[in-house]
Structure 1
Amino acid sequence: MKYTLKQLHYIDVAARHGSIARASQELNISPSSISAAIDVVEQDTNRALFERLPSKGITPTRYGLTFLGHARELLKANRTFEAALSDQTRRISGSIRMGCFTPAAPILLPIVARSIADNHPDITIEFSEGDAPQLYEKLLASEFDVAFAYQSIPPQPNIEFIRLFSAPPHIVLPSTHPLAKSTSLSVNDIYQEPMILLDLSQTRDYMFKLFTNEGLTPRIGYSSKSAEMVRSMVAAGLGYSIFNLKPLKKQQYMVGDIVRIPISNAYQSVEFGIMYRADTDVSSVDQVMIDTCLDLLRRGAFDGAVLHTATKI
């Protein structure tokens, strides 16, 4: 078997996108080059790596998933090797594949990316967003090197978690709401009103637990998988919502405005941090990412993402 790292990289990117066409756009090469890399492996092994689904792209076969697991380990080992060589000249270079919980991405990733660009210009970051279960799955499949997410309860096996901060939940109300000037609220105060739910699997379960622990059931008025859509609907006076993180700066909405109020009985605070696979070595590039986040934490760069007192931000 004589596969090049370039061919394995092409196959990995195609698998991540589920599409040869989208992979070719990311890699800036022709689709035929990616197809050729897949063909080389399939002809050599006499096994199919992917199922071709008309109009739906490609999806790995069972054998393909096994092959991808080994290929990704080899690709990461190569990145670690290249980073170790660059360490000899005291300037770390390489790439890191980073996943992030979708609602947190626009709040935290720009800060991290700016710091990396300023202090480690030879490091490139490949961002990808997803729901918590997707992040855990892709991290364990070696599709990500590290991920930003809330800590899973119970903790995921084979995943190391480095805590950055606690994120207690808070209630988001229209600025015109009768309770908008409150300094704190309980879910008992608002459960009978329509809730606009951020409809992501683990988030949904967490939000419902805030109510069921009090013997209550929320009344869902609307739901969306977009945090910004949820906030905009609250601003328009269509209901309330609950979040753990908030934008660092004041947001503008087409209709209305919002206020954020701490939950007085918020014992369901969650931990937010960095995750990586426990059974793989942390490369020097991965360590730069971890150290950068911890340094930003010490300098208070993430402080504005968590609500401590009632605010209009």
Structure 2
Amino acid sequence: MLYLTLRHYEYVCAVARHGSLSAAAEALHVSQPALSAALARIEAHLGHQLFLRRRGAALALTPQGRQFADRAEQLLEQAAQLEDPGAATSAPQRLTLLCFADLAPFLLAPALKALRQALPEVEIRHHSCAFQPLIAALSAGEADLAITYDLGLDASFSRSELDRLAPHVLVPPQHPLAQRQSLTLAELADQPLVLSQEGLSVQHMLGLFRAQGLVPRIAHRAGSLELLRSLTANGEGVGISYSLPPGNISYDGKPLHAVPIRDQQAQEPVILASHASQPETSASARAHAVLLRVLRRDRSDLAQPDHHVD
């Protein structure tokens, strides 16, 4: 016997559309406490949350909630077609994948290719963005999965490690540091550094120095990886980057040399982040399994060996 009725599906869809219990209750002509209790019973029956509830914020769909609401809309449409055969057809299942901007050139394309081959029935949406928009979208339930560094996410998200990267120092080939096989953070503290201007990235790097009682000199904060490489190649300072594209030439044609930083604590995991509660049959759970298999097997050249310039 089915537990959920069409009215239950209407409740979920109304809250999804309006973003608040009060507005949905008014549209449905039910009391807000009755609607809240019904949603709680629906979630208890399903075994996972449909909505994120944060004090002072509007209700937001979890990825599973969005998928449920999409399918509920389809069911309601199908019911309406019994009365109106000309009603519109239902929408396809959707999944949204985010990727941190510095990692996107390495990992996003192979991820999309794998997902479209494995899940042809799912509409895949994707965005590359900075840490804060990525975290905000995940927290608001606007995205299902994210490929990112393990920075800024709270404990409510699950993490699956894809790789673990050591940062590299970038210098022109004539720079004295270019002759080294490896370097430590302590050996870099007095150098004029070129770092990313991405907030969490800068905090992370400065935290690594502070943990050793070091106060680094920051010469520039670059708005992109290629700007960081260009500033470094033109002698504006010593760059530090986790992402290391193949080749030893900056965008403006200047040679570069990369030297790994050997401090163990400086290594940073690349993760596949997702919401902790994912039904095994959901598109997000199936996509998660595909990405783990593909991205762990075909690790991109995020951190190449030392680049030697003849």
TM-score (normalised: structure 1): 0.68
Aligned residues: 256
Residue 305 of structure 1 aligns with an amino acid whose one-letter code is L
How far residue 283 of structure 1 moved from its aligned partner, in angstroms, is: 5.0
Residue 77 of structure 1 aligns with an amino acid whose one-letter code is F
- Match among 228, 231, 235 for residue 229 of structure 2: 231
Shift in alpha-carbon separation, 1:63–1:180, aligned structure 2, 3 A:
closer
Alpha-carbon distance in 2 for matches of 1:71, 1:275? 14
CA contact (8 A) 1:182 1:310 kept: no
How far residue 197 of structure 1 moved from its aligned partner, in angstroms, is: 1.4
Alpha-carbon distance in 2 for matches of 1:156, 1:302? 26
Residue 66 of structure 1 aligns with an amino acid whose one-letter code is A
Q: Which residue of 1 aligns with 2:93?
A: 94
How far residue 70 of structure 1 moved from its aligned partner, in angstroms, is: 4.5
Shift in alpha-carbon separation, 1:74–1:188, aligned structure 2, 3 A:
closer
Q: How does 1:152-191 map to 2 (within 5 A)?
A: 152=151, 156-191=154-189
| More displaced 10-residue stretch of structure 1: 104-113 or 247-256 | 247-256
Alpha-carbon distance in 2 for matches of 1:42, 1:104? 43
Q: Percent identity?
A: 22
CA contact (8 A) 1:107 1:246 kept: no
Residue 167 of structure 1 aligns with an amino acid whose one-letter code is L
SS at match of 2:124: strand
Residue 139 of structure 1 aligns with an amino acid whose one-letter code is L
How far residue 258 of structure 1 moved from its aligned partner, in angstroms, is: 1.6
SS at match of 1:267: helix
Q: Which residue of 1 aligns with 2:272?
A: 274
- Match among 301, 305, 311 for residue 307 of structure 2: 311
| More displaced 10-residue stretch of structure 1: 109-118 or 129-138 | 129-138
1:257 paired to 2:248: no
Alpha-carbon distance in 1 for matches of 2:114, 2:64? 28
Q: Could you give the per-residue CA deviations for residues 120-173 of structure 1, whole angstroms, max 9, x where no partner exists?
A: 4433322223333432332121011111112247x6221111111111222121
How far residue 109 of structure 1 moved from its aligned partner, in angstroms, is: 0.4
SS at match of 1:191: coil
Alpha-carbon distance in 1 for matches of 2:197, 2:118? 37
Alpha-carbon distance in 2 for matches of 1:271, 1:117? 26
CA contact (8 A) 1:236 1:255 kept: no
Alpha-carbon distance in 2 for matches of 1:246, 1:81? 45
Shift in alpha-carbon separation, 1:41–1:6, aligned structure 2, 3 A:
closer
Alpha-carbon distance in 2 for matches of 1:257, 1:114? 32
CA contact (8 A) 2:162 2:292 kept: yes
CA contact (8 A) 2:164 2:270 kept: yes
Residue 261 of structure 1 aligns with an amino acid whose one-letter code is V
Give RMSD over aligned pairs: 3.6
Alpha-carbon distance in 2 for matches of 1:8, 1:42? 12
CA contact (8 A) 1:8 1:71 kept: no
How far residue 249 of structure 1 moved from its aligned partner, in angstroms, is: 5.7
CA contact (8 A) 1:173 1:234 kept: yes
How far residue 203 of structure 1 moved from its aligned partner, in angstroms, is: 0.8
CA contact (8 A) 2:248 2:307 kept: no
CA contact (8 A) 2:138 2:144 kept: yes
TM-score (normalised: structure 2): 0.69
Alpha-carbon distance in 2 for matches of 1:43, 1:232? 57
CA contact (8 A) 1:246 1:306 kept: yes
Residue 66 of structure 2 aligns with an amino acid whose one-letter code is L
Residue 198 of structure 1 aligns with an amino acid whose one-letter code is S
How far residue 200 of structure 1 moved from its aligned partner, in angstroms, is: 1.3
Q: Any stretches of 5+ residues in structure 2 without a counterpart?
A: 1-6, 29-53, 74-91
Q: Could you give the per-residue CA deviations for residues 176-201 of structure 1, whole angstroms, max 9, x where no partner exists?
A: 32221321112233322221110112
